[in-house]
Each structure stands twice: as C-alpha cells, then as structure tokens.
C-alpha cells in the first residue's frame, strides 16, 4: 500500500507492477486532497487506467462533518484546505472536490461510528471478496537458559516432562529426531498436554482474528531448547495444521549448546 500518492504516480506504479517477473498481484494507493493541485489529475488517471484495461476498485471513506471536526480537534491539526478559515470550510471544499469521485466509487464506507478494528474489518470485507480470515502462527522452541523470546504472545513451559538429556543415547540428538520425539511424547501427560493446549487456543485465536491481530508467536521452552521444547513445538504445530491453521515452526536455540 502506498499512502498519499500523487495521482500521476499511479500509472508508473501500475506499470512497475505489471512488468514481467513481478510477484505483485494487487496494490492499494491512498489518494486524498493533501495532494492539493495534483489531486485534480485523479479523474483523468482513472480514465486512462480503464482505457488501458487495468481493473481497479474505488473504496471511498466518509464521515459526518461533526465527527470529522472532532477528529481534527483531537489531533490539533488544521484541515489541509481550510486556509485561514474554519475546519468546516475546509471540509466543504473537500466534499466539493471529492463529489465526482464518490459517484464513481465501488464501495462507500461511513466511518463515523467505526473504531479502527471495525474499519479494518469493513475494508477487508470490501476488498477480500470472500478470502477467509487467516492467522499466521509461528511456534518457536527455546531454552530458558537463553532467555524468553521477546516477541512471544504465549509462553509454554515443558520442563515438567522428563529430560532426554539424561539419556546417554539421546543426549546428542534433538527433538527433531524420531528417537527423542518418541521419547518425549511417550512421557506421561505429554500428548494430553498438547491436545488440551491446542483446544484451549481455539477461542484465543478466534479472538485475535476479531481484534485484527494476524500474527501470533507461541514460544515453547525447556532448559536448553534442544529436546523437549523442539519435540512439543512440532507436535503443537501439527495439531494446529490439522485445524486448518497456517503454522511455521522455528527452533531458536538449536545448536547453541
């Protein structure tokens, strides 16, 4: 997304996106009257894109004058078009300039009664066209002796399980190796813990989606981050994938010993 883009720059931006080898599928450009004299070019640019066969949608955000005045007063900023006059005068000029654009809009959203989360949902609904809401979950194993991951949303302590480190034939292996994984998951309570923890996460993950939180880090820790935490993090990730979640797994401290 590009904010406050002069309309004339939209055409080269689209050209850049459509060049051979580009991995971009969609772009969003935010255009408003802060562009002042450059804003006058927008209608001509939109006509050019349409004639060139470029598909676009116009999402128009509006609000009542009362709400807009309150918002400007809260941030203590003048309206960009008010000059020496009042905020209402700037809003009136803005509405005059935007009238033709609002008529062209595919979607108009009244933001007067929306908070930032509601607005995000409205925008996503308008542009996603049925794309399901998804989370990106990273399950990271770590060793407590190296410190907690700073970006962890949840911290799981699996030091309640017997440590494979004390089994001579397992000490040199990691939780990614079958003998260690099988040993850890065979400990009393291990599988039950994984199942119950993932089940407990279901309302939490749904709540994150409702609050527009799209990235979640679950940190799974043992003493050194080599055996138990690695095996359990893989097991948690597998259960989450079975429930349709997008999950990556990271072993932060593997190899540090």
**Residue 15, pLDDT score:** 80
Closest by alpha carbon to 94, among 135, 12, 36?
36
**Residue 11, pLDDT score:** 84
CA-CA distance, 203 to 218, in Å (whole number)? 15
**Residue 130, pLDDT score:** 47
Task: Tell me the mean pLDDT per 10 residues along the chain, length 257.
Answer: 77 75 74 70 85 85 90 86 88 87 84 82 70 78 92 94 95 95 96 97 90 86 96 96 92 86
Domain ranges of the chain: 7-128, 136-251
């Amino acid at each position: 997304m590009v904010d406050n883009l002069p309309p004339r720059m939209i055409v080269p931006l689209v050209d850049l996106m459509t060049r051979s080898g580009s991995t971009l599928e969609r772009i969003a450009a935010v255009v408003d009257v802060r562009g002042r004299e450059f804003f006058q070019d927008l209608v001509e640019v939109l006509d050019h894109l349409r004639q060139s066969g470029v598909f676009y949608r116009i999402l128009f955000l509006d609000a009542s004058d009362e709400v807009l005045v309150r918002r400007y007063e809260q941030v203590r900023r003048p309206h960009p078009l008010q000059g020496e006059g009042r905020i209402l005068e700037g809003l009136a000029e803005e509405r005059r300039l935007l009238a033709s654009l609002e008529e062209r809009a595919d979607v108009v959203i009244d933001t007067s009664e929306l908070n930032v989360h509601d607005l995000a949902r409205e925008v996503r609904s308008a542009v996603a066209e049925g794309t399901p809401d998804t989370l990106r979950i990273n399950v990271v194993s770590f060793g407590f002796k190296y410190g907690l991951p700073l970006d962890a949303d949840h911290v799981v302590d699996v030091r309640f399980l017997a440590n494979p480190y004390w089994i001579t034939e397992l000490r040199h292996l990691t939780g990614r190796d079958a003998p260690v994984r099988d040993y850890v998951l065979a400990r009393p309570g291990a599988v039950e813990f994984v199942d119950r923890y993932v089940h407990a996460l279901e309302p939490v993950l749904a709540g994150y989606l409702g609050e527009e939180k799209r990235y979640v880090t679950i940190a799974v820790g043992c003493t050194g981050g080599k055996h138990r935490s690695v095996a359990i993090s893989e097991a948690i990730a597998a259960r989450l994938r079975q429930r349709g979640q997008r999950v990556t797994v990271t072993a932060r401290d593997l190899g540090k010993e």
